[in-house]
Structure 1
Amino acid sequence: MKHYLPLCLICLAYFTSYSQEENVEYSDANEFVETFKNRITAKLFYVNTYNSYVFSDRNSNLSFDLEPNKQNRIGASIAYDFLSLSYSFAPNFMAENEDNEDSKLFNLDFRLFLGKWMQELYYNHEKGFYLTEKDNDLNFEVYLPKTAAFKIGGSTSYIFNENFSYRSIYNQSQKQLKSAGSFIPGVYYYYSKIKLRADNSEESVTGELKSFDVALNAAYYYNFVPVRNLLLSAGGGAGLGMNHSSSDDEDLTSLLTELNFSLAVNYDIGDFFVGSHFNYLILNHNTDRTTYTEDNIPKFQIYAGYRFKASKKMVKKTEELKDKVNL
């Protein structure tokens, strides 16, 4: 029954918006951006995301990949004002999900927009990894079902150009009407923990790595609008910072380099929209005095959605709630 929840979310969006009133404002636009006020945005989506690692020995060409047993997920989300709710699951009919071998993935990734400030929060927990070495004579791959990795963090960014809409890329609560770009500086921060288990015992830990990353980033994004209803977006950035890693053998603080880039396309047909979004974050640092680590977080999403007009009663109740919590 839980797999019917995506459909329930869409139905919820429809019924909570069924009765509209003429005196409720549903759109506000200038030359560059249209904001869909008092709208419920409902989406169905397919998403593939994971967190993988590459450990390279500085004194040789030995390199190991630690990559999770990946899962394709489908789900649904609804968003209204500052509230949002989503659910996704990994169906067995997708080819990549047929051999999960008890692997697990739990992921949260969302953004909060406060004026020109953008706050991203990220949580990821994975269990079940493949350890591979392909560049040398060893050339092996082993599955570690009890190995687990955990990451939490996010970023805080500032969007300089108010004519550039990041919301049109991320949650479609705005629409870019005319091409615009913006410089977006920010700070990234993540805490990660890997528990490497060589056998099937939950208690047997072969090794444990803890890592804390913080980096200042400079990025630029551009939204290109070739025709009124089509949006093409691209952007990227780079940053420098510090990593502190703690393993069974030693603690080490080293230089952190950060790279990220994003591509997106969105097409509107009235209140209906379809699109896709791809972004990639790479964190590079030393784990210990002989090991160099690449920390990779790709995410690819395809979606289709609709913006419903909220009822006057719902708009009123939401404003009362915002007044009570001082939003």
Structure 2
Amino acid sequence: MRQLNKRRMNVAQQSKVTTGMLHQYITVLLLLFAVSTSSAQHDSLPVNVHDTSFFKTFDGYFTGRFYFSNKFITPDFIPTANKQQLIAYRPNTPVTMGVGATYEWLTLNLAYGFKFINQFQNDRGKTRYLDLQSHSYGRRSVIDFYGQFYKGFYLQSATSTPGKYYVRPDMGISQIGGQYEHIFNWRKFSYRAAMLQSERQLKSAGSLTAGFEANYSIISADSSFVPTDPLYAGLPALNRIRHFEFGPSLGYAYTLVLFRNVFVHANASSYLDLNFTKSSTPLGNQNSVTVRPDFAYRFAAGINRPQWTAAITWINNQLNAPVQDFRYRQTSGLLRLTFNYRLPVGPKLKKWVRPVDYFNEKVFSRTRNKQVATPPAN
């Protein structure tokens, strides 16, 4: 009875510690959310005045685009004892071809994976997926959203039978999450110029960024993730991982401008996340609460001329979690090749963008007028 009581006391103490950590993280996130909401409100106001010698906006212009894109989510299992036994799964997803448009703050894209640009490998199995990614680049902030649902993967890492893929149609991933980042040097640095090419960076500039993220994901299969192959013998038979994380971020973004029209952009952000992970094997479940870093990267390069642009963009968001004898790494993002053309909004295009102009006039201009009419506090 004494041992049982001691165990109960230890469990209660661990629960209090975990609850205390959770309360602290929630308090920090609520403060960050309040700041981000205030920044997002200011971000939509016309009173934001940027340094026109550093980047140019195209107010009154309509940006049309033609692009090729590939979205992805990749689960990797890295054994802590022997990293040579890396288990890397990949989805068999198509390259999509699409069209889109940007006017003021509104961007719409539509794409489809046509057969004539995809050479599907039947020996890699089939992947069914719904990938809802949104990357919103404001004047002072960036907001990313991930809603990814994938079923069916193949093993990319080595097997004892080269040339034959190990296929897992039963493996599935569901992930919902997002990130917010505030841009401190927003007067001189434009994320839109680098990632959307709806603006034009004239001089090299960068900015410190800070924000937070929250992600929830589940990966599961009918049997162990570990392949039935001698190369992976002795590894734990994991078949389900449930993961939730949130925490603050700090990063830096920079755009290098060469020969007036050529640009190269890079951004790296680190997140210090509180992780709640539950992993399952046929022998039982294991829960863990840890604080670990996650990472997010963006890269873009191309030509941005006054009337047209051509660029390649890459977004990569990485989740890390300790699960028994593995480090689980889940990577999400997209790779895109884009061609843009800018058109002044004349009488023919005016009727198509009228709802955006109406919203700007009725909402943004009223808010600006109220701010101008309100005297500053002493």
- TM-score bracket for the superposition, by shorter chain length: 0.7 to 0.9
Report the residue type matching 1:159 in the other structure: I
| 1:305 aligned residue | 340
1:41-99 Cα offsets, whole Å, 9 max, x none, are 21111112311111233355544223222322221112222322212222222354353
Gaps of 5+ in 2: 1-49, 225-237, 368-378
Conservation of the 8 A alpha-carbon contact between 1:255 and 1:286: no
1:282 and 2:353 equivalent?
Answer: no
Aligned residues: 292
Gap change, CA 1:98 and 1:78, over 3 Å in 2:
farther
Amino acid of the structure 1 residue aligned with 2:359: L
User: Greater strand percent: which structure?
Assistant: 1
Deviations 1:187-220 (A, max 9, x none): 1222112231359xxxxxx943221122322211
8 Å CA contact 2:275–2:291 kept in 1: the answer is yes
- For 1:233, the aligned partner's letter is H
1:272 paired residue number: 308
Structure 1 SS opposite 2:116: coil
For 1:184, which of 189, 209, 212 is the aligned residue? 209
How far apart are the structure 1 equivalents of 2:205 and 2:342? 23
Per-residue CA shift, 1:5-27, capped at 9, x if unaligned? xxxxxxxxxxxxxxxxxxxxxxx
In structure 2, distance between residues paired with 1:301 and 1:164: 22
Matches within 5 A, 1:195-274: 195-198=220-223, 207-248=239-280, 249-274=285-310
The whole-number CA distance in structure 1 between the counterparts of 2:312 and 2:81 is 41
Residues 1:94 and 1:114: Cα distance change in structure 2 (over 3 Å) = closer
Distance 1:133 1:43, change over 3 A: closer
Task: Give distance in 1, aligned partners of 2:76 and 2:354.
Answer: 51
Offset at residue 106 of structure 1 (A): 2.5
Asked if 1 retains the 8 angstrom alpha-carbon contact of 2:125 and 2:167, the reply is no
Which of residues 70, 79, 86 in structure 1 aligns to 2:109? Answer: 86
One-letter code aligned to 1:33 = F
- Structure 2 counterpart of 1:142, one-letter code: Y
Q: Mark the runs of 5 or more structure 1 residues left unpaired by the alignment.
A: 1-27, 200-205
Q: Is the 8 A contact 1:144 1:198 kept in 2?
A: no
Note the 1:76-225 alignment, pairs <5 A.
76-99=99-122, 101-131=125-155, 134=158, 141-161=165-185, 162-198=187-223, 207-225=239-257
Q: Deviations over 1:154-194 (max 9, x none)?
A: 21011111201111012122110111111112212221122
Query: Cα deviation per residue 1:95-133 (whole Å; 9 max; x = unaligned)?
Result: 543537442233232333444122122222222111466
Whether 1:45 and 2:71 are equivalent positions in the alignment is: no
Give the TM-score normalised by structure 2.
0.69
Native 8 Å contact 2:275 2:290 kept in 1: yes
Amino acid at match of 1:151: Q
- Percent same amino acid at aligned positions? 22
